[in-house]
Chains A and B, each alone.
Chain A
């Protein structure tokens, strides 16, 4: 299809010496450096860019900014595909590939448009009413709704682009580089304040780049470009073009997204800016008008028409009608003239006496219809005709000017209030906070000279807030502007209901004036209810284009004032931001922060299979050549039971406690008594939360009179240290103790198995490690590689075992020394460790799950009965002692071939739906040659020997298990005391 070129022979801010090619819906098209996708499409005569969301009506470009409701497209393909970009926001690049979305088979012939035939059935809230019955049909409805929901297709595969984050601090953040923002930024820069300026458009200047205005005897766009260039090279200024402020949070925390920073090295950079003062020079968004047939391609905002003419050298049409309800729209006449566009008529909704003199002067010689509105439009894929009552105008362009809405979304994000200002016919900031200055059009200042002066005023205010003196004021005298203040602004939407023709309030969501009326009739009078029931203002609009129209109509229909109606919540982000920008560097290997133990390289050298365990990388097992994982794990378990093994214990939490009041602190903090522990002895230690639930179990060792070494489980290491710190710093400040997190300092290996003593002797031949010198739960300090080593005789496996800790920088030496011992030592991993502890019935993370008490875990006797401790008060509550409470038990499968599924539910019979407990840990025990498990089972008294079922709805297993006493292995503990 050959389309007419709408590119003007000259003009615009594009670089005509740098032609670009791109494709749209498979067709090769051309544009220039400086074009947006929207301007390039328009220049190539592409009228239908998209199909509407619900009715699949043909839609064209309406605006030249992020408020665009129609021209939402997909850019790039495959893994780089990005859906739901607004064509005016997409900078044209060579080779860019773009497609329409929400249409099939094409945007020109879309079968989805059949939905228009069913439009009478698709009114407001139709989905709430339609899919209620029959209820059994819901799965079908859900399938259809899910297929219809959403726009665009997600990319296939990982995003190939790079994204960055950046933190910044500054004195002032100026958001918007229009004339007011630039003026303010320049003034601030002169004072030496650190300033960040960001602007969402491709070029600086804001609205002046859409005019033929001049400043200081140069085109305003040139003036703006020079100001921006000066700011860019100013040392105390960071100037960010093509950068949108997304969100303003508490304490002036602002996020910005910068597109193609550093010449495109990254796709996007997300900035986290913490300024001392914020200057909102965010401009204003022109509003559309509501009238029948107001959605046809060729109907555009008047300001957008000017923008396409002056920024991009594009004539959006050949013959136009201008439809306004305020004076500012008349400024568009200059642009139409500049582009050689004929003007058929001006339709003003106001009576002649409400039209300003300036506007009337501009309209001189043009057919001006006052106190009237457009009653119909025609044209299937492009506007052809405009009806004003009985009058008909042939036109392919309808410029619409419905007044201005100051862009105050960022303030709204933070919760700052706005109020309706009848004089401005817009919502303005109610009370401007001290840390924010609103300037230019965002403050309701629309004429160029006033904006420049407002920039100076705003800079002075910011400087005052920051206690700086302003530089001498330099007013601009040589300003020529064709801009007009809006003056009296008429209603946006009278006479649109009951015509039988669609008059759209929300183009993006296909919400009509009739939908709003229906919703109000059905009782949805509150603006937030209407938003949800009709979807008005949802999606990416969030109050940019739709709000004023909808609120005005609600006010009319409910006989309320606009102020009384209020507006909906403008939700962040201000414009859509890609997930990639939010994620930044946190992808691939950097998705999560990970930790390595000091023995990491030793594990790798020993052919360990590593796996993440929490934030740690930990050896799963050490398979030998040709050995399966399961066989390796069984071998490792049996090596510990029959010989000797070593396992990395460095991930344990380790806390040093020092001070004369340490015994008192420990007795208050822990459930069991620790103050009686003698120097050189260890004890298991049970820590509770305030509510009596077990927080962690670990060990406490008295290294000297006033120095203690405490351990915590890996999973709770950080929690335990924080908990102890809080107890000391908040509750028991009078105690003379100090706590040090020693987790990183010590590298630890457990040497476990009947031959462990021999290995330790060879490691430290000068140390007496006999049972008499170092008995079970004993502690010694030794020397290793010239540094202190701590040796604890503690057993997690149930075997004779020692935990040897050395400085983390000596870990490799310790590992090698043990491996080189004359006794064959088997490294074992986390799987074998888990099996060993299940065989011994030790509670771990799955049992200490935030619900269990000492009694549940069989540890009730550890708790002091005569002395209060943290958690003791609530530990005595009756619910913790109920006979049906789930308690820790052992399970053995009656069929040795059937592994007990981890996490399985416990039931009395296969048919029973009543859960009586759950499996917390399960394994094949090579020691017992049977599948065993730990479980929390309700009402356990007298149940040893009972047969119950372990049922997993996840793995679809149903295993018969016998309740057993614990531990499974060496119940008298003779081996670990050997």
Chain B
């Protein structure tokens, strides 16, 4: 059975460019420019940057030394908000992720071009999520913390849950 592992990262930041700055220039401390198409993602080492909405990016750091994002807070053109406590990140162990997600998610994940990294704001049976797919086809879901137990309870029959990084979900 597919394994769903909690790999909740060290830091997640939301970068918001104000409306008048919706075309960002290259940013300090980022090796690559931010993706400019909603749904596109770039990976820099242990950092994922996903454009989740117009003028809005989510930066997911999986390793320490992620101070660059907070340095951006000094930029006049961007607002940086720490959302490290807001999300849990889960990784599917194999390629069956698409089959499982298709039970609950209306997105056409099959249309993702091979070799393209992307991230989509969507929902799984009413639970808000961001679905991340990297160029190798690895699939992860970012889940708002408060919805985690409900979502894991829902898909618990489809996957084996390994809630290592966070507290296991509990029900009343």
Contact = CB atoms under 8 A, between A and B. Distances in A.
B18 A659 contact: yes
A617 interface: yes
Given A598-B85, A812-B167, A610 B172 contact: yes
Contact of A738 (B79, B85, B107): B79
B77 to A, nearest CB: 10
Given A169-B108, A194-B110, A595-B146, A585 B125 contact: yes
Given A601-B170, A738-B79, A168 B102 contact: yes
B125 A586 contact: yes
Contacts of B81: 656, 740, 742, 745
A658 interface: yes
Contact of A589 (B108, B127, B171): B171
Given A585-B125, A604-B172, A590 B18 contact: no
A45 to B, nearest CB: 44
Interface string B113-151: 000000000000111000000000000000011111110
A585 B126 CA distance: 12
A587 B83 CA distance: 32
A600 interface: yes
Contacts of B106: 167, 272, 274
Contacts of B150: 590, 593-596
Contacts of A808: 85-86, 145
Given A164-B103, A169-B111, A593 B125 contact: yes
Contacts of B172: 604, 610, 617
A165 B86 contact: no
B71 interface: no
Contact of A744 (B86, B102, B108, B127): B86
B87 interface: yes
Given A601-B167, A737-B18, A744 B103 contact: no
A123 interface: no
Contacts of B126: 593
Interface in A585-618: 585-586, 589-590, 593-598, 600-601, 604, 610, 616-617
Given A169-B111, A744-B145, A600 B82 contact: no
B30 interface: no
Contacts of A943: none
A600 B149 contact: yes
Contacts of A597: 146
Contacts of A146: none
Contact of B83 (A593, A596, A745): A745
Contacts of A658: 16, 79
Nearest to A595: B146
B16 A738 contact: yes
Contacts of B104: 165, 167, 585
B72 interface: no
Given A593-B150, A595-B150, A585 B171 contact: no
B19 interface: yes
B147 A593 contact: yes
Contacts of B86: 742, 744-745, 808
B121 to A, nearest CB: 12
B147 A745 contact: no
Interface string B143-161: 0111111100110000000
Contacts, number: 111
A740 B83 CA distance: 10
A745 B82 contact: yes
A257 to B, nearest CB: 15
B22 to A, nearest CB: 11
Contacts of A811: 85
Given A167-B106, A585-B103, A601-B170, A807 B84 contact: yes
B66 interface: no
B16 to A, nearest CB: 5
Contacts of A806: 85
A416 interface: no
Most chain B CB neighbours (cut-off 10 Å) among A274, A738, A811: A738
Contacts of B79: 658-659, 738, 740
B123 to A, nearest CB: 9
Contacts of B18: 659, 736-738
A659 B55 CA distance: 15
B92 to A, nearest CB: 17
Given A166-B103, A601-B167, A744 B125 contact: no
A746 B85 contact: yes
A810 interface: yes
A733 interface: yes
A747 interface: yes
A809 interface: yes
A250 B79 CA distance: 40
A561 to B, nearest CB: 44
Contacts of B147: 593, 595
B103 A600 contact: no
B84 A596 contact: no
Nearest to A808: B85
A604 B171 CA distance: 9
A595 B82 CA distance: 21
A658 to B, nearest CB: 4
Contacts of B127: 593
A593 B87 CA distance: 17
A597 B86 CA distance: 11
Contacts of A594: 149-150
Nearest to A739: B16
A740 B79 CA distance: 9
A168 B102 CA distance: 7
Nearest to A253: B106
Given A593-B125, A594-B150, A656-B81, A744 B19 contact: no
A610 B149 CA distance: 15
A614 B74 CA distance: 39
Interface in A346-365: none
A556 to B, nearest CB: 48
Contacts of B144: 744
Contacts of B170: 596, 600-601, 604
A167 B105 contact: yes
Contacts of B107: 167
B85 A810 contact: yes
A745 B125 contact: no
Contacts of B110: 169, 194
Contacts of A812: 167
A382 to B, nearest CB: 48
B26 to A, nearest CB: 20
A590 B124 CA distance: 12
A598 B102 contact: no
A744 B87 contact: yes
A744 B111 contact: no
Interface in B1-54: 14, 16, 18-20
Interface string A497-536: 0000000000000000000000000000000000000000
Interface string A914-933: 00000000000000000000
B149 A747 contact: no
Interface string A566-585: 00000000000000000001
B85 A590 contact: no
A585 B150 CA distance: 12
B85 A745 contact: yes
B146 A740 contact: no
Most chain A CB neighbours (cut-off 10 Å) among B79, B111, B149, B154: B79
B149 to A, nearest CB: 5
Nearest to B110: A169
In the A-B complex, the 9 residue pairs with the smallest Cβ-Cβ separation, listed nearest first, are A807-B85, A808-B85, A610-B172, A744-B86, A169-B108, A595-B146, A809-B85, A745-B86, A593-B126
13 contacts: A167-B106, A168-B102, A593-B147, A595-B147, A598-B146, A740-B79, A742-B81, A744-B144, A745-B81, A745-B84, A745-B86, A808-B85, A808-B145
Given A167-B104, A742-B83, A812-B167, 5 more contacts: A167-B103, A590-B154, A593-B147, A600-B170, A733-B19
